[in-house]
């Protein structure tokens, strides 16, 4: 053992598992956990918030960080409030209900600022205050609840944090009320028709999950029953009855997922009754016309309708289009951003890995009579270099990658195409900072970052960054 190792070992003994320490909480992590320091350790404490002094029971000790449970709030932050939901500490779906909403926004702004300056080591980047929601409750347009058994009855709810026990949830305060109604009716009907809940340990039973998605603007909703078995005899009756009881439900599906896995949906979805998709509209205003979108059960669609319009508005503001540009929207999903760009660009391309989403995108282009678009199926890290070799010369590139951020090949291909502007939409400040730093190495500087609160009450953080070619040194 070196001296350093001995010192590290001594530290980890003092901060040992099971012991409690009083720790001032000074920051918030990228996933909404409180962060404090104890000696040389960074300590992550779920449910603690900056400004708290907390008694923390240590649960894990690693080389230079530890995790602990919030045992007691010695002295609360002035921004602490009573969580609205009685399941808040059990469910794990929300991380910030104990913080007043304005303070949530300030914390999220700070997380983005810290990511950009400390992780990305970028200077001179303006991080704007996070754009908050008018109503931070009842916003989610999509719910997926597991089904199980509690006290001998079929229950629909959320997993209790860190377990696979299901806590019945009759009303989720961040869900659209239509989704809450659907979940209640779905449970009643499943019970009425003696549907057997799936049991994870044994693999017995039928019903695994119930999903619903509502189009906030039109009110249309779709429901998916995920079953372990292909046989689901009462499916049709349940579907009809659900549509009668809740006329806003226009389509009901069965998805078959026999696999012993955590992945919610299986590969096969079939319609039990009603329509194949729901339709929504997005209104960003200004120079842009509203767009209509058809959404099928498995396509990605932003989950907070009001804030999506605000996010897209920021993207379009940064885009500064004047009908002459070629634009590429990478990670385009069902083509939402692509179709807005196309309204004021000469040509817009969408690049997306999931074939169903690209099919939806093409249908959406036709639905909106937009012809100056082209959608390419494939992984961005393969398609974008091909586009570059094929001579596509975009003026603007928008990227909106999943949490893990962009593949280095995507960053390189983007920079090599020399667009006048890059707009990076991110749902993870850590990978955003990493990629902005990567782009700086490739000759693009970040001018401004605008966080948008797409997920009130949760620790999730969305942000849009605007980049331009850096002046030659």
Site residues (CB under 6 A) for ligand SAH? 300, 302, 331-333, 336-337, 351-354, 357, 379-381, 400, 402
- d(CA 74, CA 165) in angstroms, rounded, equals 31
Q: Bridge-partner residues for 27, per DSSP?
A: 35
Q: Within a 10 A sphere around the Cβ of 40, how many other Cβ atoms?
A: 11
Nearer residue to ligand SAH within complex by CB, 21 or 331: 331
Place of tokens 């928008």: 398
Nearer residue to ligand SAH within complex by CB, 22 or 292: 292
Going 393 to 399 to 401 to 404, the CA torsion angle's sign is positive
- Closest separation in Å from C-beta 276 to ligand SAH: 19
Q: Among the options 85, 158, 406, 427, which is catalytic?
A: 427
- Closest separation in Å from C-beta 132 to ligand SAH: 19
- Closest separation in Å from C-beta 406 to ligand SAH: 9
Q: Which two tokens stand for residue 445?
A: 């500087």
427 belongs to the catalytic site: yes
At residue 116, the 3 state secondary structure works out as helix
- Closest separation in Å from C-beta 334 to ligand SAH: 6
Of residues 412, 464, 463, the one with CA closest to residue 439:
412
- Closest separation in Å from C-beta 313 to ligand SAH: 13
- Closest separation in Å from C-beta 362 to ligand SAH: 14
Residue whose beta carbon is closest to ligand SAH: 333
- d(CA 230, CA 212) in angstroms, rounded, equals 20
Give backbone dihedrals phi and psi of 398, rounded to 5 degrees, phi first: -110, 135
Nearer residue to ligand SAH within complex by CB, 346 or 427: 427
Nearer residue to ligand SAH within complex by CB, 181 or 388: 388
Q: Please report the DSSP string for 257-318 in residue order.
A: --SSSS-S--SEEEEEEE-S-EEEEE---TTPPPEEEEE-TTS---S-HHHHHHHHHHHHHH
Q: What is the CA radius of gyration of the chain?
A: 24
Q: 305-319 vs 336-344: helix axis angle to the nearest 10? A: 40
Query: Which positions are annotated as active-site residues?
Result: 427
């Amino acid at each position: 053992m070196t001296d350093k190792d001995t010192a590290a070992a001594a530290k980890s003994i003092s901060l040992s598992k099971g012991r409690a320490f009083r720790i001032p909480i000074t920051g918030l992590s990228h996933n909404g956990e409180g962060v404090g320091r104890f000696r040389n350790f960074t300590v992550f404490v779920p449910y603690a918030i900056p400004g708290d002094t907390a008694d923390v029971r240590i649960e894990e000790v690693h080389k230079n960080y530890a995790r602990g449970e919030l045992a007691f709030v010695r002295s609360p932050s002035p921004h602490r409030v009573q969580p609205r939901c009685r399941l808040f500490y059990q469910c794990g779906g929300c991380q910030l209900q104990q913080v007043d909403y304005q303070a949530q926004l300030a914390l999220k702004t700070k997380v983005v600022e810290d990511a950009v300056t400390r992780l990305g080591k970028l200077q001179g980047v303006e991080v704007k205050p996070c754009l908050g929601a008018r109503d931070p409750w009842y916003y989610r347009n999509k719910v997926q609840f597991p089904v199980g058994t509690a006290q001998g009855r079929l229950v629909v709810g959320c997993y209790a944090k860190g377990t696979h026990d299901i806590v019945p949830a009759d009303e989720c305060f961040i869900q659209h009320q239509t989704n809450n109604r659907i979940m209640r009716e779905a449970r009643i009907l499943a019970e009425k028709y003696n549907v057997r809940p799936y049991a994870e340990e044994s693999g017995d039973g039928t019903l695994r999950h119930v999903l619903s998605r509502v189009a906030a603007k039109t009110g249309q909703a779709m429901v998916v029953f995920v079953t372990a078995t292909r046989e689901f005899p009462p499916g049709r009756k349940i579907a009809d009855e659900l549509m009668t009881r809740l006329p806003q439900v226009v389509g009901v599906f069965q998805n078959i997922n026999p696999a012993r896995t955590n992945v919610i949906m299986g590969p096969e979805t079939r319609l039990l009754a009603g329509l194949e998709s729901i339709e929504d509209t997005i209104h960003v205003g200004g120079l842009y016309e509203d767009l209509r979108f058809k959404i099928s059960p498995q396509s990605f669609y932003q989950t907070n309708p009001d804030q999506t319009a605000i996010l897209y508005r920021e993207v379009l503001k940064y885009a500064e289009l004047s009908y002459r540009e070629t634009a590429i929207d990478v990670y385009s999903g069902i083509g939402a951003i692509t179709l807005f760009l196309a309204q004021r660009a000469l040509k817009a391309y969408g690049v997306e890995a999931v074939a169903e989403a690209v099919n939806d995108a093409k249908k959406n282009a036709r639905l909106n009579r937009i012809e100056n678009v082209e959608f390419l199926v494939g992984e961005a890290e393969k398609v974008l270099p091909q586009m570059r070799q094929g001579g596509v010369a975009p003026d603007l590139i928008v990227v909106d990658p999943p949490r893990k951020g962009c593949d280095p090949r995507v960053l390189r291909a983007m920079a090599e195409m020399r667009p006048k502007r890059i707009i990076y939409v991110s749902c993870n400040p850590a990978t955003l900072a990493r990629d902005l730093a990567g782009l700086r190495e490739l000759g693009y500087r970040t001018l401004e970052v605008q966080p948008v609160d797409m997920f009130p009450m949760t620790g999730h953080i969305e942000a849009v960054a605007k980049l331009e070619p850096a002046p030659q040194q």
